[in-house]
Structure formats: C-alpha cells, structure tokens
Structure 1
Amino acid sequence: MICLETQHFNINRIVLLIIGLWPYQRSRLVEFQLIILYGTLMTFIVFQLTSFITSECTLDFIYKVLSSAFFFICLAIKYNSFWINADILRSSLKQLQDVCNEIEDKNEIAIMEKYGIKAKRITIRLLLLGICCQFTFILIYIWPYICHIMVLKNKFRSPSPSYIETEYFIDKEKYFYLIALHQHVAICIGILAMIATGTMLITYLQHTCAMFNIACYRIEKAIYISRKNNSKNEEKSYKEIIRAINIHCNAIKLSNFLISNFEGSFFCLIAAGMVCSCCNLFRVVSFTDNIGQLILSLAILVMLYVYLFLSNYTAQEITDHNEYVFATVYNVRWYMASIRIQKMILFLLQRGTKSFHLILGGVFVASLQSAASIRFVTADEYFYIILHCSLFYPARLKVPPYQKSSSLHSRKF
C-alpha cells in the first residue's frame, strides 16, 4: 500500500507546513500563522505602491516600482490560491490516495514510486534554486554597504536607497533595520510560497503521469494474457482492459479537477506575470550603470521564465503520457486477440483521436509550444521596448551621434 503523505509528499508537506499552507490540520494557530505571513507579504506590496504618493511619477520610476511590485503580487496570488483552495487540495489528495489504494501489482507500485522519486528530485532542486535567489536578493541589498565600508574604512555613512522602492512614512535612517527585516522576511515568504505551491502541483501531476503509465502497462498485460486461447484468460484480459480504462479516466479526471478549480488564480497569475516581465525587460534595456538594478531585474526574469517553463513542461508531460496510452494500444498485437477484445481496442483507438491538454486560467493551453509562443511574443515586445528607448532615451542607450540624429529625424515624421 502506498501512503502518499509520508512517502511521496513528505518534502512538500514540510515546506507547506512552514508557511501554513498544508491543507490538513488547520488549527487556530495555523490560521494565525497564515494571517501573519500573508499580511507581511501584502504589506510589503502596499508599501511599494505607496511610493507613488511621495515621489515624482516619472516613467523610469513607474517601471521601477511596478517591476518589483507585480513580482510580489504574483507570489501573493500563489499564496492566496492555496489558502482559499484548501478544501480542493484535500479532496484532490484523497482521490489520488484512493487510486493508489487500489494498486496491488508490484510493477504498478514500482511505476508510482518511480514518479514519486522524480517529483522529490524536482522539489529539492527548486528549493536549492530558491535559496540561491534569496541569497541573491540579500547580496543585492547589502552590497552597497559592503562597498561603503571598504571605501570609507569602517566610517559611518547614511544608508543608500534600496533597489526595491518603498515608502513606509517613517524615518528610513532611524528605522533602517526594521525596514530591512520586513523586506527580507517578505521576500523569503514569497519565494518559499512560490516554490512550495509550485512543487506541490508538480508532484501531484507527476502522479497522474504515473497513472497514465500504469494504464499502458495494464493494456500490454491484457493483450499478453489474451494470446492464450482460453476462455478464462480471455475474461482476465477483458478485466485488465477495463482496469486500464478506469485508471486512464481517473488520471484525466484528477488533472482537470485540480486545474479547473485554480482557474481564477491562474488567470490572475498570467496577467500579473506578463506585466512584471514587460516592466523588467524595460529596466534591462534601459540599463545605464546601476549593476544592482540590472541583477535584480534579471533575477526576477529568470524566476518567471523558470516557473513558465516548468509549468508548461509538466503540462506537456501530461499530454504526452495521454498520447502514449493510445500509442501503446496501437502498437500492441491487438489483432491477435479475440473479437470481443478487438472491439474494445477499436473504441480506445477512436478515443485517441482527441488530444488532451491542461487549460490554465481558462485562456492558456499549457504546453511547450505555448511556452515557445510566449517567448517569441516577449521577444517582439523586447524589440519595441528597444525602439521606444532609442526614440525617447537615446542618451541612456549610449547610441552614437549619427544614430541619435536618425532616431530624432524619424520622430519628426
């Protein structure tokens, strides 16, 4: 018997417990933990947006604030999606556990454990990547002070402005350490929430991939049994095909059940992610001499694109495993089976003409092809951003004089 919580979801359980998002054992203390952590993240977003009140809203300043604020809005959306959908997560895990309880064949258990180990490896690698990103944010924040200490030989100097623009309506020099603590705690909560929720979905979908693989195994087993011309073996083969169809339908049902209930969250996440990526692309192409701002924008873009790739890659695996089921049906020697079994196989082959895709947010078909199309759209936006900067900010891009004059000439017409 496979116990998902202790065997395959144990790392995900620990990480989700840290941020209070594990769907089971929701006590009042856990609810208080949720309010504190989510409140810390949301107040950090609010204090970034309040900087519009006290500062001059130039184009550069707007992009600077929105590039970081919308990134943390993405993190808050992920956190909130697991908070409000705790019942959906419990129901999904229960349904998956019920499917695993029905598995008794050793080979099928081995298949499920293989995909569980794969999901654990992905979770560990993403946690290490998250730790590296957290250290990057800390290094970006403290690097100016390290330079000041080295240059001034331990002489005191007032803190330099942060790369993430905020407005707390208090004396920044007096409460510098409290502001820094709030910012870094919010960053840690957001990154941990992004990794914990993302790896939880990946682990869940990896188990549905295992169910598709088990369906292939049962079909091959059924055809192997049917080769023996025996009425008893034919009955066993018939039952194996029914079991294969059942687990295949359950895999599709579980995938759709989870993704469809997160539809609103995914829609908001896609919208906020696109705004965040465009703002950070603008900051990259308008780079002058601030290395910290460049590293911060590149780090955010890397995290967004890694998340985009992994989500679409996992969805592509679901589609590929579904197609592999029908490829297995086509490649087995079904023509050597009885007429009764051949009729069942014929219905399976007809069902294989319809492809299965996960729809994120009700608008986005998740696949590697869709991820590539987003990449090319972003490349076009990148071109237009460069064109915009060359027209309105020629000095920033350090364009040679003859190119400046041509760009200004194009503006007159």
Structure 2
Amino acid sequence: MISIEQHFNLNRYLLLAVGLWPYQQSKLVRLQFLFFFGILMTAAVAQVSPLFTAKCTSDFIIKILSSTSSFLTFLIKYIAFNANIKFVKDLLAQIEHTYNQLKDENEHAIIEKYGYIAKWYTAVLGTFGIFGTSLFIITQYWTSILDIILPINESRSFHVQIITEYFIDQQKYFFLITLHVTTAYCIGMATLIATGTILVAFIQHFCGMFRLASYRIERMMKIIILENNNPKSKYLIRDEITCAVDIHRQAMKLGELMSSKFEVMLCCLIVMGVISLSLNLLRISQIASSDKNNVKEMVWPFVLSTASILYMFTANYIGQDIIDLNNYLFVTIYNVPWYIIPLNMQKIILFLLQRGTKEYVISVGGLFVGSLECFATLVKASVSYFTVIHSTR
C-alpha cells in the first residue's frame, strides 16, 4: 500500500503554507486563502493605480507593467489552482489507486525513481524561489540595511523597487507599504513554487506510468522468448499486454484531463510569461543604457527575467519528457517478436503500433505543446517583442 503523501510530501508542505493543500480544507484554511488573496489583490491594484494617477511616459509605463505582470501571474495561479482544488484531490487519489496496483519490486523501483525526480524538481525550484525572494527583500530594505552596517550622520533616502500608489504619504508610511509589497511577493512566490511544482510532480508521475507500460512490454518480450513452449505463456502474455495498455491509457487520460482543467490558467501564464520577459528585458536595457546605470535597479527585473525563463524551460522540458517516454514505449513495441505470439495478441500489438503513429503531447488550447521546441519559440517571441518595442522608442 503506497501513501500519496510519501511521494508528495514536499509539495504538501508548500501547498499547506499557502492554503491550497486539498486534503485539509477547514474553515481556518479557507480564511487563510481569503487573507492571502486579499494581500495579492490589493498589491496588484496598488501597482496598477499609478497608471491612472501619475503622468505616464513610455519608460514609466514599462516600469509599472514589468513588475505588475509578475503579481498578476501570482494572482492568476492562486485563483485558478483554488478553483480546481477538488480536481487536484481526485487526481492524487487516482495516482494513489494506480500505484497500489503495482505488481513487483521493479515496478515499485520505477515509481520511486520518478517520485525522487519530482522531489528533486521541487527542492531545486524551491531553492531558486528562496534565492529570488531574498534578493527582492534585500533590495527593498537596502537603505535600512546600510544604516545598520554603515551608519552615516545624514539620513539616506528611501527607495522602493516597485512603484505603487496607496493614496497616502509614501515617505511617512514607507515601512508599512514595503511590508505589504514584500508580504505579497513572498505569498506570490510561494504560490508560484507550490502550484508549479505539484504540476511538475504530476507530470513526472505520468512519466513513471509511461515507463511502467514500457517495462511491462519488455517483460512480455522475455516471456515470449523464454517461455514460448509453455502452454501458460499465452495467458501471461495476455495479462502483461493488458496491464501495459491499461496503465498507458490511464497516463494519457490523466495527462489530458489535467491539461484541460488547467487550460485557461496555462494559457494566461504563457501570455503573462512572454509579456513579463519582454518588458523586463526592456527594463534591463533601459537601466543599462541610462546615465545612472544603477545596478540595484537592475536586480528586480533581472530576477523576474530569470524566473520567467526558468519557469518556461521547466514546464516545456517536462513536456518533452512525456513525448520521449511515449516514443520509447512504441519503440519497445516495435521490437516485440509479434509473429510468434497468439493471433488475438497480434491484433493488440498492431493496434498499439497504429496508435503510435500519432504523437502524444501535453497541449494547451491546441496552440502550445509542451516541448523544448515550444520553449525556444516562446523565448524567441519574447526577444522579438523586446526588439520591436526597443526599436520604436
């Protein structure tokens, strides 16, 4: 018996931190969700407000939108994941049910391998998230840190990395404003990591199911070769191929179901990712070409640009894994000596080979396919938009 928390324990802690773990949705947790949602929403509104209250230039608009796009991404993920929290719970239950039907130690080893990979992704992306959050906090409170480390007789001017409008005295309430923005960023980054890594973990477990199907085909080949003269072999072959087809079908079904449930969210994230990367590259270019050339100003857009590229790469790299493992399954089927197995089994083999002519992919809206090619396309599009905007200024 395999507990689902055994494979998703890190994801569980991250989702609990932001109130999105589906198995413990008490009234207190719902209150936590509303509180975090309120912080994210008010932070996003405060960042958009300067567009309506200040004199807008092209540089000013780019500076506002380059940071606002990241907070809108946080908000989209938080709302969309909460809206699909029941589906996440059902998906975890289906994965657990599948794993409780494993047959031998080798199959358990395959699942352990992909479970470990999922944990590795969670740990690495979580580390990047902590690093990016730390950089943001340091730059926000840089003036106060310098006053402690290198005190001087005159006071240093406060500087906020993100332009906001709270309709109050910005200098007087600097620490409260900074605390609100910093809290919103920490919640948003935690949400981004928690929801992103659980989706990565799901896809890794789908990859494990594809690998299980290949293993069962390979095991069937050994039965064909070693026990061809055994009268019971045809029943063993039938069981192996039936199990392989069943778990392959389940993996495809769960993958398609997940992409359909999160389709709107993923489409929004792709659009926001391209916009964020384009605008932050433009912001870096502005700072680098300015007379001041303030390195501190460059930290925030650099962090956001790196986060956008990392997030897009990880999502598409995982999608490429699905494609490669599905192709590996059908390469394994091609190697089956189908001509020496019973006729009814030959028909199933031919059916699987025919199914292999159509590539299985995780797609979003029929427009974006999770693959390294798609990652290159998105980065190219972002750079193209950055180039066009930069050349027209």
SS in 1 for 2:22: coil
Q: Which range moves more in the overlay, 269-278 or 232-241?
A: 269-278
Paired residue type of 1:170: I
> Aligned to 1:212, which of 210, 213, 228?
210
- State the TM-score, normalized to the length of structure 1: 0.90
d(CA) in 2 for partners of 1:269, 1:343: 43
**Cα distance in 2 between the residues matched to 1:48 and 1:171:** 16
TM-score scaled to structure 2, two decimals?
Answer: 0.94
Does residue 63 (structure 1) correspond to residue 62 (structure 2)? The answer is: yes
Q: Which amino acid aligns with 1:168?
A: Y
* Residues 275-354 of structure 1 mapped to structure 2, 5 A cutoff: 275-287=275-287, 288=290, 289-354=293-358
Q: In structure 2, list runs of 5 or more residues that go unmatched.
A: none
Tell me what 1:403 maps to.
Answer: none
Q: By how many angstroms is 1:293 displaced?
A: 2.5
RMSD after superposition: 1.7
Q: What is the correspondence of 1:87-236 to structure 2 with a 5 Å cutoff?
A: 87-146=86-145, 153-157=152-156, 159-227=157-225, 228=227, 229-236=229-236
1:140-187 alpha-carbon deviations (Å, 9 max, x no partner): 222345557777615334x43312000111122222221111111111
Q: State which structure, 1 or 2, has the greater radius of gyration over its C-alpha atoms.
A: 1
The change in CA–CA distance for 1:302 and 1:2 in structure 2 (over 3 A counts) is: same
**Equivalent residue for 1:382, pick from 370, 379, 386:** 386
Please tell me the residue identity of whatever aligns with 1:237. I
Counterpart of 1:244 in structure 2 is 244
Matched, 1:24 2:23: yes
Aligned to 2:271: 271
1:58-78 per-residue CA deviation (whole Å, 9 max, x = no partner) reads 111111111101111011111
Amino acid paired to 2:280: N
SS for the counterpart of 1:217 is helix
After superposition, the C-alpha distances for 1:215-252 in whole angstroms (9 at most, x for unaligned) are 01111111211232122111111111011000000000
Q: Indicate the percent of aligned positions where both proteins have the same amino acid.
A: 42
Structure-1 separation of matches of 2:278 and 2:363: 23
Q: 1:362 & 1:78 partners in 2: Cα distance?
A: 20
Q: How many angstroms apart in 1 are the aligned matches of 2:381 and 2:265?
A: 23
CA deviations over 1:93-150 (Å, ceiling 9, x no partner) = 1111111111131110110011001111111111111110011101222234555777
Amino acid at match of 1:282: L
Shift of 1:210: 0.5
CA contact (8 A) 1:265 1:361 kept: no
Q: What SS does the corresponding residue of 2:222 show, helix, strand or coil?
A: helix
The answer for the alignment partner of 2:3 in structure 1 is 3
Contact 2:43 2:181 in 1 (8 A): yes
Native 8 Å contact 1:44 1:182 kept in 2: yes
- Quote the offset at 1:385 in angstroms: 3.4
Contact 2:275 2:382 in 1 (8 A): no
Q: Residue 273 of structure 1 contacts residue 304 of structure 1 at CA under 8 Å; is this kept in 2? A: yes
> Residues of 1 paired with 2:245 and 2:198: CA distance?
26
The change in CA–CA distance for 1:237 and 1:17 in structure 2 (over 3 A counts) is same
Work out whether residues 160 and 178 of structure 2, in 8 Å CA contact, stay in contact via their aligned partners in 1.
no
Q: Quick check: 201-210 or 281-290, which moved more?
A: 281-290
Aligned mates of 2:148, 2:253 — CA distance in 1: 59
Counterpart for residue 79 of structure 2:
80
| Counterparts of 1:39 and 1:363, CA distance in 2 | 33
CA distance in 1, matches of 2:13, 2:162: 30
Does the C-alpha gap of structure 1 residues 81 and 42 become closer, same or farther in structure 2, counting only changes over 3 Å? same
